[in-house]
Amino acid sequence: MSLLEEPISELARGLRAREFSSVELTQMALAEIEAKDGAVGAFLRTTGSAALDQARAADRRLAADPAGASTLCGIPVAYKDVLCTKGVETTAGSRILEGFVPPYSATAVLRLEAVGAVGLGKLNCDEFAMGSSNENSAFQETRNPWDLGRVPGGSSGGSAAAVAARLACATLGSDTGGSIRLPASFCGVVGVKPSYGRVSRYGLIPFASSLDQIGPLTKTVEDAAHVLEVIAGRDSHDSTSAVAPVGDLRRHLSGGVDGLRLGVPDEYLAMDLDPGVRSVFEHTARELEAAGAQLIPVSLPSTEYALAAYYVLAPAEVSSNLARMDGVRFGPGVAGAPSLTEAYEQARHSGFGPEVRRRIILGTYVLSSGYYDAYYLRAQKVRTLVARDFERVFGEVDAVISPTAPTPAFRLGERVADPLAMYATDILTLPANLAGISGISVPAGFAAGLPVGLQVLGPHLGEGVCLRVAAAVEEAADLWRKLPSPTPHELRPE
């Protein structure tokens, strides 16, 4: 069995016992990437030399003060390509940022580096994190390790696939409407969407600034808690980051669900769910009830308007955020354009993919004179209603549970020509982003041989209760050691 199949706590123990070194663990990870990632396509670029330098530094730190070193010291991790990494090309999966080498790193990256985590490289994603399948990357497809003919989910598909294929011990992704939780569900890993403000967004290339959050994808719930404890907390570089202390999140993991009130939203279960997904959810809900949880039907009536509101608000912020991308200093560039305006137009047309262009146009339209009140203002009112629904429900229950996605992973190319079907993939995840609350997806079972995730939603800054319920699901399902079979290096794309 590969060391990369072990949880972070076991790897930390082995590093301190000098059963292996961080250099050896990092070399193993780089070898696995070399052997498997040609089929999976999770990594856009690896940073082998720098990673080994970081591993040597981690080994020195562990030798000098094993008790004082972080659990993540010496552990190989990787980053979604929307997170700036000093000295390493960061493209957000887009041609318009090709060649961009940031002079600084995102706060979440810096905090992992500060405790001695080893960065293996940058992970593929939908362009500017806009997508639910990872098919919008300008550079390559990422394939689901469980079935290379299927999508890994998006937009953090590379982050989820890397963990599922055991190419990294943990990864960071970003979640704007489900972009951590959806690929976590499709790839059979744990994915945490922290509350808005829990993790600094400094150094995150923005999609929609009022919705984006950085979070971990890992093999186990405990691994996710380890990473979240490090990256969360107030940051002076991000005025929206929460002042509230993070504390010891792992203390919640052993609490079980006995006595907890878990809400089951009528509106979520009334949707057109894949029969296998529904079966997994119902079985897991019964397991939680048998463990002492009280299941309470709840209503989130604004859910039916959430999808439409999201696809007004998010594109509006896209229109604003991406206005700065002009293709002048990096990206495709344009030679010989008759005017500066036409140079901008040509660079943006060739630099942005079709989905990004679609959202820029939509966002610009809803913000334009004569349409602002009809679309943007109404969508903001719906967002308030969604948040109030959750606030009311969390006065009645401790957490909410639901399927993470309506279906398991679908086939590559299946929804590319139908944007509405693609957007509907996020119907169960995006309300949490509109409300700014906490959420997690944890593997709960399989449908037709494909992973299915259960979503746990908690109140704002309620990551503790989300982790507590997710740990109980993980214990009942006992799936985290189950690997894609056959393993990725034995598979070939269809």
Q: Is the pLDDT of residue 493 over 50?
A: no
Residues 325 and 359: beta-carbon distance below 8 Å: no
Per-residue pLDDT reduced to its tens digit, 90-143: 999 999 999 999 999 999 999 999 999 999 999 999 999 999 999 999 999 999
Q: Is the pLDDT of residue 8 over 70?
A: yes
pLDDT band at 249 (very low <50, low <70, confident <90, very high): very high
Per-residue pLDDT reduced to its tens digit, 47-64: 999 999 999 999 999 999
Residue 155 among the catalytic residues = yes
Query: Which tokens go with 304?
Result: 């039916």
Query: Which tokens go with 98?
Result: 């090709």
Instruction: Domains for the chain: give ranges and CATH numbers.
Output: 3-257+439-490 (3.90.1300.10)
Catalytic residue among 36, 70, 80, 132: 80
Residues 264 and 351: beta-carbon distance below 8 Å: no
CA–chain centroid gap for 311, Å, is: 19
Q: Is the pLDDT of residue 489 over 50?
A: no
pLDDT at 332: 80
Catalytic residue among 70, 105, 155, 438: 155
The span from the CA of 144 to the CA of 285, in Å, is: 27
Q: Is the pLDDT of residue 491 over 60?
A: no
Catalytic residue among 105, 133, 179, 195: 179
pLDDT at 485: 72
Please state, as a whole number, how many other Cβ atoms lie within 10 Å of the Cβ of residue 258. Answer: 10
pLDDT at 486: 56
How does 347-386 read in b/e, with b if 16+ C-beta sit within 10 Å?
bbeebbbebbeebbebbbebbeeeeeeebbebbeebbebb
Q: Is the pLDDT of residue 177 over 60?
A: yes
Q: Is the pLDDT of residue 494 over 80?
A: no
pLDDT band at 189 (very low <50, low <70, confident <90, very high): very high
Mean model confidence pLDDT for the chain: 96
Nearest-Å Rg of the Cα atoms of the chain is 21
- Specify which residues 118 forms β-bridges with: 76
Per-residue pLDDT reduced to its tens digit, 375-430: 999 999 999 999 999 999 999 999 999 999 999 999 999 999 999 999 999 999 99
Residues 42 and 79: beta-carbon distance below 8 Å: no
Residues 260 and 293: beta-carbon distance below 8 Å: yes
Share of the chain above pLDDT 70, in %: 98
Please measure the distance between the N-terminal and C-terminal CA atoms of the chain and give it in whole angstroms. Answer: 28
Q: Is the pLDDT of residue 483 over 50?
A: yes
At a CB cut-off of 8 Å and minimum separation 6, what does 352 contact? Answer: 94, 95, 96, 127, 322, 325, 360
Per-residue pLDDT reduced to its tens digit, 280-320: 999 999 999 999 999 999 999 999 999 999 999 999 999 99
Nearest 5°: the CA angle 55, 57, 62 is 90
Length reported for the chain: 494
pLDDT at 328: 86
- Phi first, then psi: what are they for 455, rounded to 5°? -100, 130
The burial of 395, by beta-carbon neighbours within 10 Å (0-12 exposed, 13-18 middle, 19 or more buried), is given as: exposed
Mode of pairing for the β-strands spanning 438-447 and 450-458: antiparallel
pLDDT at 444: 98
pLDDT at 78: 98
